[in-house]
Structure 1
Amino acid sequence: MTAADVDDSIVADDPLTGMDAASFEAFVGEVAQFRDTVVAPNVNRWESEKRMAPEALREASAIGLLAMEVPAERGGLGMSFAQKCRIVEVLSAVSMPFAFSLVNTGNVAARVARLGSDTHRERYLADLMAGRRFGSTALTEPGAGSDFANIATTATPVDGGWRLDGAKAWITNAAHSDVIFCYAQTQPGSRGRGIALFLIDGTQPGFERLPPYELAGGHLIGTGGFRLDGYIAAAEDLLSPAGEAFIAALSSVNGARTYVAAMCCAMVEATLASAVRYGAEREAFGRPVIAHQGLAWKLAGVQNRLEASQLLTARAVDAVTESLRTGDASGAILPAAHAKKFATETAEADIAACIQAMGAEGLRSDHPGGHHLIGARIANYVDGSTEIQTDRIARSLAATYAAS
């Protein structure tokens, strides 16, 4: 089915409710089948070719995966945030980089549907949902990453709109995306107060795509950058004015940190399952490897920390959902930071432990550990580094405990 073919009767208009339970569980089965038949057999080849997989993203669109949070009346699936987290978890069991690329185009489609003008929706929405065009959100720059307020890309008023100049770096999907939510500074020196959000079209003059980055792995994310040199954005392409855009970006990052934590849980669980299966089949000193206490206790520790990650992630999902209901993101900041910090830090170490438990066999590409280890490393950077989460938690200590 396509996103447009979904019967409105099985999709709730309320994004907090999402698809009804039975329909959603059936859809999870479709996603798992897509993952196992399209992504799993090809992920190592795509990685060896060091590229995104736009053809697979287009195939994903056939079951609506690029339109998860697009409202049903706009042709999407109308999923809730919690349901989106579940879907990216299913996909990340095989490839977090693929899931991360997919969810970024889906996020842009959902924001075009909700924030864009009628012209934007007519021009971009159907193509985004069908995988004919891909989306990115462009915050990071060569000189501004975690310090988002320090961005230097400028937006200068001109007749009928704005002129944008500057460079963006470390942008997910930049290898192919051309529908881009771009943050720019309208009042240099004002930091967050001057930052506005624009929709830019990478097929228009003034946009220059830069070559994708050569990375140690995770090329499916399509990380790269672009330059804007005299790019003209029409007046209606200003989606959030100065000040409001910065606050909205800080709010939306709570959701991103939460689904990254969910992705980490999926990677650990898949690698742990692989290690346990191998340990049950492989014998050493007359008994299955898993029967040796040293190995069994190591993997038990992995499972223990996985349970903790899953619970922290579930708490963050609930907090983000509540923030969407109330419009107040403050209550989701700490739960999202705790979930992302713990899930990313433990994922990298625990995936490595599972690989170690399999001996040299764990390094073979027909096991998931190597791909997931790179995914876990990536997760430590995206949507706020692990250090940023630690700092966010540290700054809350006085308010949380001083009174007591």
Structure 2
Amino acid sequence: MTERSAFLASVKDFARETVAPAAALWSQGRAPDAGVFLAAAKLGLFGIELPVHAGGLGLDFKHKAAACRILAAADFGFAMAVVNTHNVALRLFLSAPDLANGHLAALLSGETCACTALTEPDAGTDAAAMRTRASETDDGWVLNGEKTWIVNGRRAGLAIVFAKCGDSDDHRSIGAFLVDLTAPGVERHAIDSAFAQTSTGTGGFTMRDVRLARGNLILPPGKAFRSILSEINGARAYVAAMCCGMLEAAVATVAAHGHRRFSFGKPLMEHQAWRLALAQAGTDLDASAALTDKAIAAIPGDHSVQRLAAQAKIHAVQTCQQHLPGLLHAMGAEGLRPEHCLARHLAAVQSAALTDGAQTPLLERVSKLSFPSQPALED
């Protein structure tokens, strides 16, 4: 077994033995214990793409996406929480090595969670509509604004916050800042919904005259917005992988139930009509996984990866939304028990549909990339 194969095998063991049993309680509102993040750190999950000399594993995006898929098969929210801390660690290493020296150890060890704060009450997919403002001072910056629906927002110690710099409202004025969420002027709050948000750590925060050193600007205006456009392609690809992981786990759970449960003198699996929903879900899962793998292989890629990543997320989300209710029905009331993954995955895919670009704007993006406007032909 290669080192890379061993890593993914260890992630599978961790997801099965630690994450899945705990997820039954998370789905009912219990917050994850700090120990589960420390255990994830021991596997290197917060440093998959960081080089070995920086404390990471030195693996590539493909392995990060594979790990996300494995974790999401157990619990989507936990997978999102882990990958968001990982992404902050990676961004600090790449863009702000001086700041990274003071924070990487805590991030990679799982002692500190982190988040990327882009979404606002009036700005989601349209990032250029954000209102959070960074005003330059003689010795640094002052931030004012609000961020909402942030993964890890309720527990993160650090955040990469996107804000408009100066007085401009142009998207080219957006910069990215490293913010200590325990600093004076920051007020955090948890966000809950009809679907438990505890493993995702969903929350928001307001910033009132939060003072930052000049060096806390880690991505200057212009470069920050380009970073958003680039990194969101990767996010859409690994969210698609997570959806594939959730559906794969649901199919396996229902199939196992079909072998155990008897009806009219024989296992459910021997009833042809019962098997059809399972067969169709498996067929569509394979198609979605193939498209997702194609998008993952194209990361970081050129302009064409925008379309692939968007298509992969659209298809994976729709496939989950189509088949998870039917799989739950095939398992009957037993499938509602929290120790099974079906109910929490059915809830989670609704969050996945809204993460890193909602379905309708993504479909519009695909239409523009696939069928660009052509000038009218002259007579």
Assess if the C-alpha contact under 8 Å between 2:25 and 2:338 holds in 1: no
Distance 1:201 1:191, change over 3 A: same
- Is 2:120 aligned against 1:153? no
- Is 2:335 aligned against 1:362? yes
Assess if the C-alpha contact under 8 Å between 1:66 and 1:131 holds in 2: yes
Give the counterpart letter for 2:84 in structure 1: N
Give the counterpart letter for 1:40 in structure 2: A
Assess if the C-alpha contact under 8 Å between 2:27 and 2:338 holds in 1: no
Which residue of structure 1 lines up, in the alignment, with residue 18 of structure 2? 38
Assess if the C-alpha contact under 8 Å between 2:234 and 2:309 holds in 1: yes
Q: TM-score, normalised by structure 2?
A: 0.95
Tell me by how many angstroms 1:287 deviates.
Answer: 2.6
Q: Name which of 171, 182, 196 aligns with 1:203.
A: 182
Distance 2:14 2:160 in 1: 28
Percent sequence identity over matched residues?
Answer: 36
Assess if the C-alpha contact under 8 Å between 1:218 and 1:375 holds in 2: no
Assess if the C-alpha contact under 8 Å between 1:117 and 1:236 holds in 2: no
* Segment of structure 1 superposing worse, 49-58 or 66-75: 49-58
Tell me how many residue pairs correspond in the alignment.
Answer: 376
Assess if the C-alpha contact under 8 Å between 1:187 and 1:195 holds in 2: no
Cα displacement string for residues 139-175 of structure 1 (whole angstroms, at most 9, x for unaligned residues): 0001111111100000111011111100000000011
* Segment of structure 1 superposing worse, 180-189 or 375-384: 180-189
- Is 2:65 aligned against 1:65? no
Distance 1:127 1:84 in 2: 20
- Is 2:361 aligned against 1:382? no
**Residue aligned with 1:199, SS:** strand
**Residue aligned with 1:60, SS:** helix
Cα displacement string for residues 84-110 of structure 1 (whole angstroms, at most 9, x for unaligned residues): 111111111111111110111011111
Assess if the C-alpha contact under 8 Å between 2:47 and 2:108 holds in 1: yes
Which residue of structure 2 lines up, in the alignment, with residue 16 of structure 1? none
**Residue aligned with 2:108, SS:** helix
Distance 1:158 1:189, change over 3 A: closer
Q: Name which of 271, 295, 300 aligns with 1:316.
A: 295
**Residue aligned with 1:79, SS:** coil
* Segment of structure 1 superposing worse, 285-294 or 55-64: 285-294
Q: Which runs of 5+ in 2 are unaligned?
A: none
Q: TM-score, normalised by structure 1?
A: 0.89
**Residue aligned with 1:297, SS:** helix
Assess if the C-alpha contact under 8 Å between 1:218 and 1:374 holds in 2: no
Q: Name which of 269, 279, 296 aligns with 1:300.
A: 279
Tell me by how many angstroms 1:285 deviates.
Answer: 2.4
Q: Name which of 145, 152, 166 aligns with 1:166.
A: 145
- Is 2:226 aligned against 1:247? yes
Distance 1:153 1:103 in 2: 24
Q: Name which of 69, 84, 99 aligns with 1:89.
A: 69
Give the counterpart letter for 2:365 in structure 1: R
Tell me by how many angstroms 1:127 deviates.
Answer: 0.4
Cα displacement string for residues 186-228 of structure 1 (whole angstroms, at most 9, x for unaligned residues): 1445331111111111122222212343442242001110011
RMSD: 1.8
Superposed, 1:382-401 pairs within 5 Å as 382-399=355-372
Q: Name which of 241, 246, 257 aligns with 1:267.
A: 246
Tell me by how many angstroms 1:254 deviates.
Answer: 0.3
Tell me by how many angstroms 1:348 deviates.
Answer: 1.9
* Segment of structure 1 superposing worse, 28-37 or 96-105: 28-37
Tell me by how many angstroms 1:54 deviates.
Answer: 3.0
Give the counterpart letter for 2:306 in structure 1: I
Assess if the C-alpha contact under 8 Å between 1:334 and 1:393 holds in 2: yes
Distance 1:51 1:401 in 2: 52
